[in-house]
Chain A
Amino acid sequence: MTRLLKAVYTIWLRDVIRFYREKTRIVGMLGQPLLYLLIMGTGLSSSFRMSWGPGEVSYLEFMYPGIIGMSVLFTSVFSAISIVWDREFGFLREVLVAPVPRWTMAIGKALGGSTIAMLQASILILVAPFIGVKLGPVMILQLLGMLFLIAFSLTSLGITVASKMETMEGFQMIMNFLVMPLFFLSGAMFPLRNVPPWMETLMRADPLTYGVDALRHIMYAASPARDFLVQFPLGTDLMVVTAMSLFFITAGTLAFNRTE
């Protein structure tokens, strides 16, 4: 048992060390969501008024949890994609020949990606006061827990995709046809209301929708506008995200097992 935990820990540690070694990656990963928040949030909220609710919720408040969800999505999927890099540069083989079962690799990788995604999201949580969102310590802990769950499921999804990829050429495809749709349909930028039925169906099928919804539940738990901001009960959100985590980590492990 200790042997297996040690293997999971090793894979996790490597991802974390590599992350803090790369200062440009850290800057880039923090800069992107902050830019979205600053430019899109400010720009859109000055031209849009929330057409529903009591009118006391700003667009920025609506979008803020969505941007955190976005940063978790991007970071998680990119961390998982590093498997393809490892394959190209050979290190993956060092891991694949080690005398430990493959699932330890998949889990170590999923935990590594989740940790990095959470670190990044934590920094975004720090800007809450500037958005006008008040967060207590308990709320922050709940948020971190939720973020971890979302990140874990999305990294696992990324691992499943990455273990099928031989080269980085498919990377752009994944961005355009997986990551961006997941983001746009998640309700991060606009609510799941007043949209055509086909779109609503897609949004309901996007697992990230429930993650972002859960974040809003936690952030605006005390706000009178909460019921206007969220779309599903918190229980539904939690169940969907947990089920998604279990499903994708299983799929990721199986995909990893077949890698030669």
Chain B
Amino acid sequence: MNIIEVRQLHKTYKNLTAVEDVTFEVGEREIFGFLGPNGAGKSTTIKMLATLVRPTSGTAIIDGHDIVSQPNRVRQAIGLVFQETTLDERLTAAENLSFHGMLYNVEKRTLARRMAEVLEMVELSDRKDARVKTYSGGMKRRLEIARGLIHYPRVLFLDEPTVGLDPQTRNRIWTYIRELRDREKLTIFMTTHYMDEAEHCDRIAIIDHGRIVALDTPANLKKMVGGDLITLRTPFRKEVKRFVEEKFNLAVQEPGDYLLMEVAGGESFIPVLAGELGGRIHSISLHRPTLDDVFLKLTGRDIREESANGRGALRSHMRWRR
């Protein structure tokens, strides 16, 4: 069963089309990612699904409720964590959670149990009576995720959940997210513009200029780009090139003072190569295709630059060399 069904969702602001006829489904217990540069329409889509913004046309069904005609039911069924904090920093963590529970009509005894449970999960139990303004950025984000779960939502929306956080905190948040999916049968819908983060998703929709340009698992998306790239440094370039081409039937390029070849399953090819060539090589390095490469291939732009210019192709070459 699909817990989210989006049908031709469309949003136009005065003279700008933010989201253009977006259609997709998200299955139950899926971690679904929306990947794209800033301004691609990710936030607008999430706001429409969360009933904060009315679509110009089209609709979506979340947990059986229509976002346009049954907004309050949708709101009860989802949890939201925004990019910017929406905590009341002058209240304590526990107060923030209990107010949320009251607004979402969680019964008193259930609420007490649930608060303890979510605080435990995000490891904030011992700080629950401290005011939120004394929290670090990572703690606030964790508290916010905990708050979004208080009313037992079916779908948790995370808008750029780890933006501005240090790598350690990001990893921790990902641990919680997977734990939630497994333990609470929760579906996660998230937006991100970090490629490495999108790798954690079961499926990714790549969005650009308000349209979905690709939708698949991270592994399948990466297959679109091709195999792994192996860079080999050796003083005997000519000999080695001929040897590899004959022995493994591979096309070997010599773009500079190194050799470059594309293979499937690069990590198991390296030991074979090293065994054959022995001491004749200085170094071997492996570059696996990333979602960056997928985005680049689909849009002709580098997602990290967030602005299109004619040097995209050159940059991609520079990155191959790295």
Contact = CB atoms under 8 A, between A and B. Distances in A.
Interface of A: 3, 6-7, 9-10, 13-14, 17-18, 21-22, 86, 89-101, 260
Contacts of B156: none
A97 B105 contact: no
Nearest to B79: A97
Give the interface SS of chain B, mostly helix, strand, loop or mixed: loop
Report which residue of B75, B84, B88 has the largest number of chain A beta carbons within 10 angstroms of its beta carbon: B88
9 smallest CB-CB distances across A and B, nearest first, come from A99-B75, A98-B103, A90-B86, A94-B86, A10-B102, A99-B76, A99-B72, A3-B105, A91-B88
B102 A9 contact: yes
Contacts of B102: 6-7, 9-10
B95 A10 contact: no
B84 A90 contact: yes
B72 to A, nearest CB: 4
B70 to A, nearest CB: 10
A6 B50 CA distance: 22
Contact of B82 (A7, A90, A100): A90
Interface of A is mostly: helix
A3 B90 CA distance: 25
A6 B107 CA distance: 11
Contact of B73 (A17, A21, A99, A100): A99
Nearest to A10: B102
Contacts of B85: 89-90
Interface string B54-85: 00000000000000000011011000101011
B73 to A, nearest CB: 7
Contacts of A101: 72
Contact of A17 (B53, B75, B95, B104): B95
Nearest to B85: A90
A89 B103 contact: no
> Interface range on chain B: under 10, 10 to 19, 20 to 34, or 35 or more?
20 to 34
A97 B100 contact: no
Contact of B53 (A18, A95, A260): A260
B90 A18 contact: yes
Contacts of A93: 52, 82, 86
B87 interface: yes
24 contacts: A6-B102, A6-B103, A10-B99, A10-B102, A14-B88, A14-B91, A17-B95, A18-B91, A21-B91, A22-B90, A92-B86, A93-B82, A93-B86, A94-B88, A94-B100, A95-B103, A97-B80, A98-B100, A98-B103, A99-B103, A100-B103, A101-B72, A260-B52, A260-B53
A99 B104 contact: yes
B5 interface: no
A10 B88 contact: no
B238 to A, nearest CB: 63
Interface in B89-130: 89-91, 95, 99-100, 102-105
Given A10-B103, A86-B88, 10 more contacts: A6-B102, A9-B102, A14-B91, A17-B91, A21-B90, A93-B52, A97-B50, A98-B104, A99-B76, A100-B103
A91 B87 contact: yes
Task: Output the residue of A13, A14, A97 with the most chain B CB within 10 A.
Answer: A97
B72 A14 contact: no
